[in-house]
Amino acid sequence: MTPARDRWSYVTHTEEETRRVGATLGRLLAPGDVIALTGPLGAGKTRLVQGIAQGLDIDRPITSPTFILMNLYPGSQGRTLCHIDCYRMRDPVEEGYDLGLDQQLGGEDICVVEWAERIAPLLPTDHLAITIEPLGDHRRRLTFQARGPRSRALLEALAAHLDTDRSTEHARHRRKGTGASS
C-alpha cells in the first residue's frame, strides 16, 4: 500500500483532459466536500468545474457565476453542486460572512470555489485545494493539496484513478505504435 499523500501534481495537455480530470473527481465527491480552486484568469478553473459537474451527472450547462457569486445544480445520488466564484467580490471575507458563505461551505452541498484564496478564512479546514498553473498555450499543471483526512482520502482515490487512466492510455499508445511498425 502506498502512503497517503497530501500533495500531488498532474499535467493536462488539452482543455478536454482538464475536463476529464474534473469528471473523475466529480464521481468521487460526497455531500459536504469542499474544493478550493486557485489560478490566474483563464487558467482552466471553470473547465475543471464543468468536468466535476459532468461527474455528478449534471446536465445543465455550467457557466461562471461571476455576477451572482454562486449557482446551485442538483446532481445524482442526492448530491448538489454549489459553484462559487469570488473574483468580483470587493471585500471577499466580509462580504462572504455577510452572505453566509461560511455556512454554505460548512453545509451538505458539494462546494467548488473559484478564486478560493480570496475567502481563505471562510473555508473549512478539511478541503481539497487545487492550483492550476498555465505552462503554455494548452498545458496546465494541476497541483492538489489535501488539508485534512477527508480530502486526503479523496486525493488518494483521485490519484489512483488518474494513474490507472494514464497507464491505460500509455498502453494503448504503445500498442498502436507496435501495430504501426509491424
The nearest distance, CB 96 to ligand ATP, in angstroms, is 18
> Distance between the two ends of the chain, CA-based, in angstroms?
38
- Measured between alpha carbons, how far is 87 from 5 in angstroms, rounded to an integer? 30
Long-range contacts formed by 71-79: CB under 8 A, 24+ apart: 72/109, 75/110, 78/31, 79/29, 79/30, 79/31, 79/110
Is 42 one of the binding residues for ligand ATP (CB under 6 A)?
A: yes
Contact mark string toward ligand ATP, 122..161, x via CB under 6 A: ----------------x-x---------------------
Binding-residue total with ligand ATP (CB under 6 A): 18
Residue of 20, 24, 36, 46 that binds ligand ATP (CB under 6 A) = 46
Rule CB under 6 A: which of 107-126 touch ligand ATP? Answer: 114
Contact mark string toward ligand ATP, 57..76, x via CB under 6 A: -------x------------
At 155, give phi and psi (nearest 5°). Answer: -65, -40
